[in-house]
Structure 1
Amino acid sequence: MASPVRPPRSQDRGKRLFDVVLAAVLLLLTAPLMAAVAVTVAVGLGRPVLFRQCRIGLDERPFELVKFRSMREPRGDLLSDADRLTPLGRWLRATSLDELPTLWNVLRGDMSLVGPRPLLPAYLGRYSPTQARRHEVRPGVTGLAQVRGRNCLDWDDKLALDVEYVERRDLRLDLSILVATVGTTLRRDGISAEGHATAPEFLGSRR
């Protein structure tokens, strides 16, 4: 099998520069909003305000994802994500305000503004060789799958769109995804799969 064709290094550098500049601007513009969300989470859910979790990034390297917390802490009678998700948490997810701290991940270089969504380490051994190509790029705050159905898509379709992004990626595609993300967020499309707080666990490809 031929090795995947990577874009020129100049294109990767251009994408990284675009990410850093835009993420820095967005962090400055949304700082008052993030402060308000932090206070709301502290009052509504308590501390900690931030949710931190290990995810897998570029070249299958782990990093710590940071978001605003949207769930109660697990207790004996609150084990599932659906049970722990509060009305405040649903609103944060519906508006994507819980994602604002991930701009720090972009600035740090863990993530890009656009790319496949970062997933759990437990999934690493479950991808097909083709699906594993999603790790050839930095994971994104938003991505092709997020504007094509988000959590309403099944895993095979989402991962296929991730690989499509890897193969097609360029600045024009990134800009079109960012614009489409605004509409998707405002319409609150595809927030969760039926019967799940977000999406079911990925157990491996069915195709």
Structure 2
Amino acid sequence: MKRAFDFCVALVAGLVLLAPLLLIAAAVKLTSAGPVLYWSDRVGCRNRIFRMPKFRSMRVGTPAVATHLLNDPGAYLTPIGSFLRKTSIDELPQLWCILTGDMSFVGPRPALFNQYDLIELRTKAGVDALKPGLTGWAQVNGRDELPIPVKVGFDADYMQRRSFALDLRILWMTALKVAKRDGVTH
């Protein structure tokens, strides 16, 4: 049921948002050199690597590390990068990964391929068995502000309690947090 929900909602969202997505793509292209999308290697279900797109919010050549590990993240942002990140608009191309089955709407956020500490803790907790999500229990309980062991704790809690009702609750909480721009650092 979850896969059918994910596919149908992602398909409808993609069609409804097609015009805005094209406008955002044009804005990214017009405000900075480089491709519209940034494809990053992410860790999916059972630690399988997949390619995840985002609207490019950082300049070409930015190191491929978690933003909090950059000395001055603001120095790497494109002219509209801060807006894209604070509104979470940069995440919309991930609808593609939901359509292809690499991601779900709700699950642990996919780790970067080089976030070894996060990958190791998730594997030990069995969370690697879950499909990564556009949003998750950790995101609505602190997002970027949470230390990695706490994020993994929320991921493990989600794994134990997961249900369609919890997924709907997380989606609703995500919408509220995005509207308030709550928990976004850059």
Corresponding residue to 1:171 among 164, 183, 186: 164
Distance in 2, matches of 1:133 and 1:125, equals 14
Which fold has the larger relative contact order, with Cα–Cα distance below 8 Å and residues 6 or more apart in sequence? 2
Contact map agreement 1:52 1:65 (CA 8 A) in 2: yes
2:23 aligned with 1:30, yes or no? Answer: no
Corresponding residue to 1:44 among 17, 31, 43: 31
TM-fit CA distance, 1:175? 0.3
Match of 2:182 in 1: 189
2:91 aligned with 1:104, yes or no? Answer: no
Percent of pairs with identical residues: 42
Residues 68-83 of structure 1 aligned to structure 2 (within 5 Å): 68-74=55-61, 81-83=73-75
Which is greater in Rg?
Answer: 1
Match of 1:205 in 2: none
Match of 1:113 in 2: 105
Match of 2:50 in 1: 63
The number of aligned residues is 178
2:130 aligned with 1:143, yes or no? Answer: no
Contact map agreement 2:34 2:60 (CA 8 A) in 1: no
TM-fit CA distance, 1:156? 1.5
Unaligned 5+ segments in structure 1 are: 1-13, 198-207
Distance in 2, matches of 1:92 and 1:66, equals 14
Contact map agreement 1:51 1:68 (CA 8 A) in 2: yes
* Aligned alpha-carbon RMSD (Å): 1.9
Task: Summarize the Cα distance change of 1:125–1:170 in structure 2 as closer, same or farther, 3 Å threshold.
Answer: same
Unaligned 5+ segments in structure 2 are: 63-69
CA deviation digits over 1:112-159, x for unaligned, max 9?
000000002223466236655221110000001111111112222111
Question: Structure 2-normalised TM-score?
Answer: 0.89
Distance in 1, matches of 2:170 and 2:23, equals 27
TM-fit CA distance, 1:173? 0.4
Q: Which runs of 4+ in 1 moved over 6 A?
A: none
Deviates more, 1:121-130 or 1:18-27: 121-130
Question: Structure 1-normalised TM-score?
Answer: 0.80
